[in-house]
Structure 1
């Protein structure tokens, strides 16, 4: 499981409390024993509860309980509880809550995508792209995994994926540069993106290991899958571009191996009710 470091979490806390909590200090309530709870307002897949709990510990509080990331939580359900003084809990309150709400939003959408896709093909793999908001990669990846999806690509360093923006610079037949690439990185997959059926077939014949079928209608993806399979080529076929909860089952039913999407990153956070109250 991905866990954000104490250094990372301390920076997040410092952004919200750079020079103390003026309100709590002026009211004189900072030393009163208190409890803080999180309850889901809607059904959700919880995420980042570990980080929220650690923020409370870093602020001087004590964790009583929380559900692990990836847990389905029902409306009204208590899923996170901590104690401390009113001062320590107010220090961590808003940033911990917001992190859980945003991360759980991504996890919940990822889970809905997986459920929708598997209605069309129980064996389909749903991968989420690197198109998360810059600076949020770790928590975004954690949320995707918590939702039951996988990560399509962490970044540019670990995968070989050729887009049109690369191919415009290449000379000669596709077979030539595919062979050169394979000779240089024999342990890597040769992945290429395309947006037409005929080109997908040419690239599969040229030796591509993985084809991303970008923004192709469902019928075209189905045709590309059928024709490439008829040729006996073992190329992995992934539908990408515009894949979302409403069409995931249809794309999955084409027989492709994988759906690639960014849609889980975009949408509202989950709604969580946070209560801080005195003990006793």
Structure 2
């Protein structure tokens, strides 16, 4: 649910203090139309904008729906002034979210063409204030949200290891984490992957490794997981593009996480038309 306070900030940013442009009398209808193919997301936020302004949403596509150019994904009816006030904010938020969903869907399809069990996940590289919308868009595209915030998973990163060393860092955070919280350890070389598992990592993040190195690290990780009789997930991350997804999906990893799904997704183009 999008809080009214956030919608008000969005509208105030766009409308300003002396809006003459949208002083149009009477009632009207409007529709949000895709001008290119993609996957739909963000319409819950667009709906919230219009409803905040007293505009009725009469029809809406579902999150994750595939659309073609010319498809109407949202229809509204209400006072012309309020329909026009909400138009740009609704188009912007839906376009951005649908761009994230589309990028995610493309990555998911690329991974599943190689291995149907590999998950595509987002990261915390989200736009401040829009994380909830972007994470829901990832889900709409068939992806996994990864951790929503720092409280969801303990991640032992390269800076922690640089400060404390791998063994001390993992022990430090395992002692402080709840028994319900998984611990993920980032490693930068194949030799450290089994070490992280032996130290108690639930997930080992193979960071900035090319596909061949990733495959080697996964092999080493699987061997030690068998020895310690415990499942340890392997996650590949670090600058992975949609084009590179098939190569990583074939390495044996369980998860491919991609910051580009949120920080570099192109906006899906929508046009808002009245009448």
Q: TM-score, normalised by structure 2?
A: 0.91
> 1-side partners of 2:21 and 2:176: how far apart?
61
Aligned-pair distance for 1:179? 4.1
Deviations 1:205-254 (A, max 9, x none): 33322110001010111111112223315321100102221011111111
Gaps of 5+ in 2: none
> 1-side partners of 2:113 and 2:14: how far apart?
43
Gaps of 5+ in 1: none
Question: 1:162 and 1:274, CA in 2 relative to 1: closer, same or farther beyond 3 A?
Answer: same
Native 8 Å contact 1:182 1:188 kept in 2:
no
> 2-side partners of 1:24 and 1:190: how far apart?
52
Q: Which residue of 2 aligns with 1:152?
A: 146
Partner of residue 224 from structure 1, selected from 217, 221, 235: 217
Aligned-pair distance for 1:187? 2.9
> 2-side partners of 1:122 and 1:257: how far apart?
10
Partner of residue 97 from structure 1, selected from 91, 99, 103: 91
Native 8 Å contact 2:29 2:77 kept in 1:
yes
Asked if 1:182 is matched to 2:174, the reply is yes
SS, match of residue 84 in structure 2: helix
CA RMSD after TM alignment: 1.8
Asked if 1:273 is matched to 2:271, the reply is yes
Native 8 Å contact 1:4 1:138 kept in 2:
no
Partner of residue 202 from structure 1, selected from 195, 204, 222: 195
Native 8 Å contact 1:50 1:66 kept in 2:
no
Aligned-pair distance for 1:60? 2.3
Asked if 1:243 is matched to 2:236, the reply is no
Q: Which residue of 1 aligns with 2:254?
A: 257
Aligned-pair distance for 1:195? 1.0
> 1-side partners of 2:136 and 2:87: how far apart?
21
Question: 1:179 and 1:268, CA in 2 relative to 1: closer, same or farther beyond 3 A?
Answer: closer
Q: Which residue of 2 aligns with 1:168?
A: 162
Q: Which residue of 1 aligns with 2:12?
A: 14
Q: TM-score, normalised by structure 1?
A: 0.90
> 2-side partners of 1:141 and 1:58: how far apart?
23
> 2-side partners of 1:58 and 1:182: how far apart?
45
> 2-side partners of 1:95 and 1:148: how far apart?
25
Native 8 Å contact 2:193 2:220 kept in 1:
no
Native 8 Å contact 2:156 2:170 kept in 1:
no
**Which has the higher mean CA deviation after the structures are superposed, 184-193 or 235-244?**
184-193
Partner of residue 185 from structure 2, selected from 187, 192, 198: 192
Q: Which residue of 1 aligns with 2:64?
A: 70
Aligned-pair distance for 1:273? 1.8
Number of residue pairs matched by the alignment: 269
Aligned-pair distance for 1:177? 4.9
